[in-house]
Structure 1
Amino acid sequence: MPRYDANQQLPMEQVFRDPVHDYIHVQHQVILDLIDSREFQRLRRIKQLGTSSFTFHGAEHSRFTHSLGVYEITRRICDKFARNYATKVPGDGGWDDSERLVVLCAALLHDIGHGPYSHTFERIFQTDHEAITVEIITSPTTEVHQILAKVALDFPGKVASVIQKTYSNPQVVQLISSQIDADRMDYLLRDAYFTGVNYGTFDLTRILRVIRPYKDGIAFQISGMHAVEDYIVSRYQMYMQVYFHPVSRSMEVILDHLLKRAKRLYEESDLQMKNKADLLVPFFDQTFTLEDYLKLDDGVLSTYFTLWRDEQDPILSDLATRFLDRKPFKSVNFSSKYDEPILHKLQVLIQEAGYDIDYYTAINNSYDLPYDFYRPNQIANRTQIELMYQDGSFIELSKVSEIVSSLTGKVRGDERFYFPKEFLKPKTPKEITLFEPIYQDFKRYIKNDAIIQPTNPLEE
């Protein structure tokens, strides 16, 4: 097998025009070959934000564009580290630029294992995109592996270990996976741009100016504290306002129930489907291979949903129609501590109206921890953000930022109960006749007896 020189540069760098980073610069042959690989090109056909495009119509960007963006931020950091913080003596905490190629490859490939509508798909079919990412990198059958192996036989394993957070150099790992890494920096800016909001914007130029390596990972000069602080707040706002948007979650609930119904129809012989969705059969059976997985993308699922519109099973047909035509469920906030009896009454009313509550109701919880510091007694620890003084000493971010301190260790989010929209506003004569004795009770429970509050009409 012909080998790459690990430092082999293209005769002339290639560029990708990007709306977030202006140009993405490709300087290594191995990076260009990875971009052209079958497995990486598949990411063009997988949306970065899944069902969020039903709420924010501009959010049609792909995991392909995000992955290029993470690579570009990482490349810029490597350039800065090599120029200003190159190691002089082994162990001095400086940047060893021989690590450049492994971190660039890991940055480019970190999301290559994502499937269609990835998080919903993972729940239904018990897949793990990080494990599949590692498999794509390490399996001799993939183009990605064959390209990486041209650098060195052990190089695919090194790249995979960065994804698994077991690579020996913490600087490399933290550039790809930490509370402020190239992955998060790109998706916040990119998702803000394509959703049309300003929440996710922060001063990337300033952060790249103050980032620096040290022995145990990466840190930020104290002079850049406010830029880092702004990044944390931006991330918090994006989760609350975009990623946890009630309508996006509603469409995710419908997608979840749609796939769950298709799986049940496949498993029960008395509920046969006309369109058996051959590419999903290995996932229904839990016998899928990596090759089966790589055949799937958002378009494949959308094609099956279109076919399922015409299925005889009324639940599958209706859920497919609701998803394709953007007919979200309504939702209300609730507190599990106080409102469970009310939720039970609502489910009874929905069932009395002829709906299967397994498919037409859902409880959806969305929570995020905006920032946390290192806690040695916790099983899963986050790498805290370290600020560096001019004398080389460190201080953890929340100890000097009141804003970040107010968010530290506090889980934010909500719980919502989802139900068919027609229970609030029946429109057709048939719906009015069917729901008249039921929906008045339904609305009474929501407005009078419960603590829960209806979804803001502006969120539709």
Structure 2
Amino acid sequence: MLPSRTYHDPLHGAITLDGSDPVEKLLIRLIDTPACQRLRRIRQLGTASLTFHGAEASRFTHSLGVMQIARRAFDRLAKRYSELRPYRPQVLVAALLHDLGHGPFSHTAEEIFQGQHEHWTRRIFLESSPLRQALDEFHPQLATDLEKIYLKQFPIPLVWQLVTSQLDCDRLDYLMRDSYFTGASYGHLDLDRILMAMDYDPVSQELTVNQKGLAAIEHYLFVRYFMYAQIYNHPKNLAAAWGLEQAISRARELFGVGQVWADGVIGAWLTQNNQELSLEQYLGADDITLVYHLQAWQHHSDAILADLCRRYLDRDLLKAWDISNLSDSGQQSKLTQARELAKRFDLDPAYYVTIRTAVSRGYTLYNKGIKVKSPRGLVDINQCSSLVMTLTQPLTKQYLLYPREIEADLQRSP
């Protein structure tokens, strides 16, 4: 018998997996695979640690947290609805493995390398021998079930909705975890009340919310809105991510003509379609390997590459100016001014000046939305909550990113 395992988590306390329970024994085995352990080397919040110095949590800690919340949510529902009990392995394993496919700096890598972590999550558990062997030995159908869950095609919607929906265990953990590690007090959630509000509709087989728990869900959605507006879309985050993207873009150009060094893994990431990398090439990349290359490239003879890498490593980030109040022509005028000023400082505007758009939205009808059990049947939450209705409207902001060298001249410009 595999011994029990306890992970001490700052949010959830002691997460104990029982080695005598077949499902939890499988979870322990999956956690110990190289693909899962790789997530320790990938930051949950990508480049955000340059804005919020405490944002050092990994995708590994988040994955354990999602699994723990999913276990609490599912086990509570399965006590009331015995027909759900056979699906415990699918829910818990899907929750644990949902972020396997993240690349270096999490979502930032998706923007830079044009990849999709969901695609790679499926490839990894289907093709990585240690993972696939563990899944197949537990049940030959489990890997196929996981694929259906991630594609939102599992025949019982609640099974995939607990993992990927507007009210899923992934969002609950990352909002709590990101709030904790960034110090954002408005990100606190009443997890117990949210889990108590969750219910199941045997007819539609969907995840639902009890009307008496509506306030807890409204609070969750407002927390999500504020976290996007104040944390995920923080202008310094936008500047850090774009600066890293520009460094990689310059390295890609030079690597293509044989003017910069990269090892086999990063070389493949620079030259190949992300979705077509080999499994070994994909799993070989993490925050450590990418930062190692930035450290090497900051000494390169190419002034642009060296400067972009140094700026990122030294946190000499671009400035961000909120120009949302300007008309489209006004924004373009400021962009043109910034580009001309950058040229005066011998800074190529293609690498140092841009406009980035940030969109924050608290609620959408994504993945069937959130259904509330009401006297008139299942209704979408925005039909029974005026507060949620306000969150369906997106908040859009435009930021002009530019090097600090031109700030004084740019601010003086009309």
TM-score, scaled to structure 1:
0.84
Inter-partner Cα distance in structure 1 for 2:278 and 2:396: 36
**Coordinate RMSD, CA, aligned:** 1.7
Is 1:162 aligned to residue 149 of structure 2?
Answer: yes
Distance in structure 2 (CA, Å) of the matches to 1:342 and 1:68: 45
Q: Does 1:222 align with 2:211?
A: yes
Give per-residue Cα distances to partners, 1:262-296, cap 9 Å, x unaligned. 00011124xx12x3343211122216311111011
Name 1:184's counterpart in structure 2.
171
In the aligned structure 2, how far is the partner of 1:191 from the partner of 1:120?
A: 16
Determine if the alignment matches structure 1 residue 23 to structure 2 residue 14.
Answer: yes
Q: AA paired with 1:64?
A: F
For residue 243 of structure 1, the aligned residue among 232, 238, 245 is 232
Task: Write the distance in 1 (CA, Å) between the matches of 2:74 and 2:123.
Answer: 26
Larger gyration radius, structure 1 or structure 2: 1
Counterpart Cα distance in 2 of 1:69 and 1:60: 15
Q: Who is 1:204 aligned against?
A: 191
How far apart are 1:417 and its partner, in Å?
A: 1.1
1:247 partner letter:
K
Scaled by the length of structure 2, the TM-score of the pair is 0.93
Q: How does 1:56-95 map to 2 (within 5 A)?
A: 56-87=52-83
Residue 416 of structure 1 pairs with residue 402 of structure 2: no
Where does residue 21 of structure 2 map in the other structure? none
Return the alpha-carbon distance in structure 1 between the equivalents of residues 242 and 121 of structure 2: 26
Q: Which amino acid aligns with 1:300?
A: T
- Structure 2: gaps (5+ residues): 19-23
**1:358, CA displacement in angstroms?**
1.2
Return the alpha-carbon distance in structure 1 between the equivalents of residues 12 and 376 of structure 2. Answer: 31
The CA deviation at 1:25 is 2.8
- The separation in 2 between residues aligned to 1:124 and 1:386, in whole angstroms, is 36
Matching residue within 86, 93, 105 for 1:105: 93
Q: 1:232 and 1:320, CA in 2 relative to 1: closer, same or farther beyond 3 A?
A: same
- Alpha-carbon distance in 2 for matches of 1:103, 1:382: 17
Distance 1:419 1:277, change over 3 A: farther
- AA at the equivalent of 2:340: V
* Cα distance in structure 1, aligned partners of 2:93 and 2:188: 26
Provide the C-alpha distance between the structure 2 equivalents of 1:11 and 1:97, rounded to a whole number of angstroms: 23
Distance in 1 between residues matched to 2:81 and 2:139, nearest whole Å: 27
Question: Partners in 1 of 2:107 and 2:252 — Cα distance?
Answer: 17
Residue of 112, 130, 135 corresponding to 1:143: 130
- In 2, the alpha carbon distance for the partners of 1:145 and 1:392 equals 45
Contact 2:338–2:353, Cα closer than 8 Å, also in 1: no
TM superposition shift of 1:24: 1.5
Query: Which amino acid in structure 2 is aligned with residue 79 of structure 1?
Result: D
Selected match of 1:386 from 362, 371, 379: 371
What SS class does the counterpart of residue 199 from structure 1 fall into? helix
Whether the aligned pair in 2 keeps the contact of 1:39 and 1:142 (CA below 8 Å) is: no
Question: 2:254 corresponds to which residue?
Answer: 265
Pairing partner for 2:38 from 21, 39, 42: 42
User: CA separation in 2, counterparts of 1:146 and 1:346?
Assistant: 55
Q: Does the CA-based 8 Å contact 1:244-1:413 persist in structure 2?
A: no
Q: Decide which of 388, 391, 394 is 1:404's aligned counterpart.
A: 388
Q: Distance in 2 between matches of 1:222 and 1:403?
A: 14
Match for residue 122 of structure 1 among 100, 110, 117: 110
Q: Percent identity?
A: 36
- What is the alpha-carbon distance in structure 2 between the residues aligned to residue 32 and residue 331 of structure 1? 44
Local SS of the residue matching 1:57: coil
Q: Distance in 2 between matches of 1:386 and 1:124?
A: 36
Structure 1: which 5+ runs fail to align? 1-9, 88-95, 374-380, 426-438, 450-460
Alpha-carbon distance between aligned partners in 2 of 1:80 and 1:23, rounded to the nearest angstrom: 18
- Mapped contact 1:85–1:212 kept (Cα < 8 A): no
Deviation at 1:11, TM superposition (A): 6.8
The count of residues paired between Structure 1 and Structure 2 equals 401
3-state secondary structure, aligned to 2:7:
strand
CA distance in 2, matches of 1:220, 1:77: 12
Which whole-Å CA distance do the structure 1 matches of 2:175 and 2:43 have between them?
A: 15
**How far did 1:118 drift?**
2.8
Query: Which structure has more helix as a fraction of its residues?
Result: 2
